[in-house]
Amino acid sequence: MKARTPLLAVVALALAFGACSDESLSPVGGATGVDRGGGQLLHTISTRLPLDQREDATAALERDAFRRESRFLDAVSPGHLFQSTRVDEAAIEAGAWTHDELYQLGGQLFNFTFTPEVGFGAKDLPAYGRFQTGRRGGPDAPRCATCHWRGGPAGAGDAADNAYLQGDGNSQSSALARNPISLAGAGLVEIVAAEMSVELAAARSLLAAQARSSGKAARGDLVAKGISFGKLTVRPDGSVDASEIVGIDPDLVVKPFGWKGNVATVRAMVEDELLLHHGMESDFLVAEGDPARVGSFGGVDPDGDHVTSEITEGQVTALTLFVAMQEAPAELTSDTSEQTLLTAKGRALMKTLGCASCHVSSLPLSTTTFTLASRGGGARVTVDLAREGAEPRILPDEVSGAFRVFLFSDLKRHDVGKALAETRPDRGAPASQFLTRPLWGVARSRPYLHDARAAQLEDAILLHGGEAQKARDAYAALPDIDRGAVRLMLTTLTRSPRMVTQ
Ligand code: HEC
Ligand code: HEC
């Protein structure tokens, strides 16, 4: 098989299972004349793909050497690595750091082992909690990379990496079991969703204007990038009837993150993850001061662990950019005509079976610029993922020059039946509704479904119910060879190979 976007050779490179830090060793000086506000690059996490296997292997060994060296450094001076990530937000907004450098700093944080000295955990939570306590979290893991590793750096997680959210701190049955999601392509996902939200807001404004000028309620379709979100009625006084909205919250904001599709931005997700899994409270969440989130000890140390300013705004920004700038998942095409034919058949079947009504193969993108709005009143950070993201990057269509994300999702929530339903709704999403899981990269994110209950693609497909029952039954009724074609097609949705040492 060889790659379509971008060029890949399917070689027997052991793709990352285990330690997956994405750094290579290369001390960085970087005197810029601008005050860089505290942070320090200890090594280079490259956004570029090595050109050949030898270079790839060298980079993997360098990353391993770096990990060993940082363990030595931290043994001598604990917290050394963490201190190096404490970049100042004002310096970031003043342009003191390049986007590539922020990616590297974010990568340092993503692979950092959080300890009580830097703020891990909370006074009133267990040292480790397998089942989380409400919206306070576990803490349940020492590093982001503990759970996000499968299929490559910042990847998915295995079933044993499941997080058990919003529980009573003691029992699995009280919590919502969720499998870690691969972060490849996350920045692009946010951009598509944000563009859809803008379209939906425009539709609402138009209806509001019609209702005002006619003095009668105006009812119209909610459509974004060709995806229907039902209908909206706006009354002359500006109030809305949201009862016909489908697959999205009444605020009409497309929320593409989390299995339930209830988080809108990478930054909100990153901040939540720091808190839930590590008890690392950002300055922003502490300032908001919601005791249900940050703890009830009040003041500047609401989790009572005697560490203040656990995560600065600059660190949130660096980690957010690291996630948002992750590579785009890759799609492989076959060398052999037999496989090409079968993959094409699988693709066609996804349409005729009805899978593609939810797993929409691609959505258009008007911009590839990821925007991180400033919360401190400074400038915004904007990154062009087509030029600066980690490789492989999104590529324009060769003929039209336009960009599309080959996501295999409509970014909408659907009822997938009682068998998959959770015990209760979660932040606006009903118990049996889940976001149409984007299928790009799916070949590298086993096990499947929100709680990892499906070990194989076949199981995942057959467990669909509810709105997907018809498509599932049509799939089940196919002869083996045709089901195989669908599975083969899904297996071409992957990530570019790279070497990782353990
Ligand atoms: C204990 C395992 C675990 C750890 C540790 C962890 N995550 Fe996650 N991550 C998850 C799970 C589970 C989900 C899905 C959550 C959901 O559906 O509500 C997720 C989802 C995400 C998402 C959203 C992806 C998407 O496309 O929906 C981002 C971004 C993310 N994590 C970033 C991070 C960062 C950054 C860290 C470290 C600060 C981190 N995670 C640590 C388990 C983990
Ligand atoms: C009504 C919308 C809908 C239809 C139709 C549909 N799916 Fe899905 N699909 C979903 C949702 C929602 C999920 C996530 C379920 C969960 O979180 O447990 C999902 C999950 C998946 C997964 C697991 C992905 C992962 O990373 O865990 C695969 C594979 C999949 N679908 C393939 C298919 C195939 C093949 C078909 C056609 C036979 C199909 N789907 C039809 C909505 C749909």
Q: Is the CB of 437 within 6 Å of ligand 2?
A: yes
List the one residue out of 43, 34, 31, 30 whose CA is nearest residue 96. 34
Domain assignments of the chain as residue spans, ordered by start: 117-183+264-308, 330-365+392-494
The CATH-assigned architecture of domain 330-365+392-494 is Orthogonal Bundle (1.10)
Closest CA to 326 of 106, 94, 43: 106
pLDDT tens-digit series, residues 8-38: 322 222 233 233 333 332 333 333 456 787 8
Do residues 181 and 323 touch, judged by C-beta distance below 8 A? Answer: no
Closest ligand by atom to 445 CA: 2
**Cα gap 218→142, rounded to integer Å:** 52
Query: What share of the chain has pLDDT > 70, as a percent?
Result: 92
Half-sphere exposure of 331 (CA within 13 A, CB side): 18
Q: Which atom of ligand 2 lies closest to the CA of 471? A: 38
Residue to substitute in 21, 110, 135, 144 for testing ligand 1 pocket (most ligand atoms within 8 angstroms of CB): 144
* pLDDT at residue 373 is higher than 60: yes
pLDDT category at 67 given cuts 50, 70, 90 is confident
- pLDDT tens, position by position, 122-156: 999 999 999 999 999 999 999 999 999 999 999 99
User: Is 442 close to ligand 2, i.e. is its CB under 6 Å away?
Assistant: yes
Q: Please give the number of the atom of ligand 2 that sits closest to the Cα of 420.
A: 18
**Burial (CB count within 10 angstroms: exposed 0-12, middle 13-18, buried 19+), residue 266:** buried
pLDDT of residue 43: 64
Tens of pLDDT, residue by residue over 99-115, are 999 999 999 999 999 99
CA distances from 169 to 101, 128, 285 (A): 38, 10, 22
Q: How confident is the model at residue 433 (pLDDT cuts 50, 70, 90)?
A: very high
Distance 229 CA to ligand 2 centre (A): 18
What's the pLDDT score for residue 68?
86
